Amino acid sequence: MCVPNKTLSQKASRCSGFTLIELAISLAITGVMAYVVNTTILTMYRASGTTTREIDLTESLRVTMRPVSDELRSASRTGEDGNGNKTLEADEDRNGNGRLDADWNLTATSLRFNRYVGDGKYSLPITYRLNNGRIERVQMMDVTGRSITTSIARGVTSFKITDASPRVTIELEVDRSKSGSTMRQAVSLSILPRN
Ligand SMILES: [Ca+2]
Ligand SMILES: [Ca+2]
């Protein structure tokens, strides 16, 4: 701001600096700009961190589900029941256990199948199912029904099986929320069984 009615030298001297008010306004504007820039950078950083965590979790889910997809790829809809009459004929019992190993059965939240193990033979039934927020794998060990159950995923909020023959779709959603942050992630796998 310039002061009127002064000599030229006085005006030049007065106009070359800032008043206290001008300085205060200038500092306030600088402060606001710094705040806006800082907030923007922080928001971008946080968004970037969330995206990285989501990608990591999705990959982790795919790794978790790999045994399911690998086994389902070697599964058979017909198993030992070559003629599809749900009865065991002598020539169908290729693994010689006296049991018709043809257990293909999908529900909305479980899948049961026999895995091809080579030489025309199939395994006893393997089941993947949702139980109490966990995905369990149940392997029948012998014809008496003895089985081993293992948990392959926890914090599961949704496990959905869809048989869109010839492919099977598995959709899985897990909750990995921690205190102060909510994190749910889902994967969808489309798998083609062996036959
Ligand atoms: Ca048969
Ligand atoms: Ca058999």
Q: Which residues surround ligand 1, an ion (CB under 5 A)?
A: 81, 83, 85, 87, 89
Centroid of ligand 1 to alpha carbon of 97 (angstroms): 15
Centroid of ligand 2 to alpha carbon of 121 (angstroms): 8
- Considering Cα of 7, then 10, then 12, then 15, what sign does the dihedral take? negative
Domain ranges of the chain: 61-191
pTM for the complete prediction? 0.72
Centroid of ligand 1 to alpha carbon of 91 (angstroms): 9
Centroid of ligand 1 to alpha carbon of 95 (angstroms): 14
Centroid of ligand 2 to alpha carbon of 84 (angstroms): 14
Ligand with minimal distance to 85 CA: 1
Residue % of the chain over a pLDDT of 70: 88
**Per-residue pLDDT reduced to its tens digit, 66-111:** 999 999 999 999 999 999 999 999 899 999 999 999 999 999 999 9
CA angle 51, 159, 52 (to 5 degrees): 10
Q: Which of 17-21, 31-35, 117-121 has the lowest mean pLDDT?
A: 17-21
The 8-class DSSP code of residue 166 comes to T
**Per-residue pLDDT reduced to its tens digit, 145-181:** 999 999 999 999 999 999 999 999 999 999 988 877 7
75's tokens: 């599964």
Q: What pLDDT was estimated at residue 192?
A: 97
Please give the mean pLDDT across all residues of the chain.
88
Ligand with minimal distance to 86 CA: 1
- Under 8 Å between Cβ of 140 and 147: yes
In the predicted model, is pLDDT for residue 115 greater than 90? Answer: yes
Contacts with 161 (C-beta within 8 Å, 6 or more apart), sequence order: 106, 107, 108, 109, 110, 111, 168, 169, 170
Centroid of ligand 1 to alpha carbon of 162 (angstroms): 26
Strand partners, 170: 161, 189
Mean pLDDT, residues 42-52 taken together:
72
Contacts with 77 (C-beta within 8 Å, 6 or more apart), sequence order: 104, 113, 193, 195
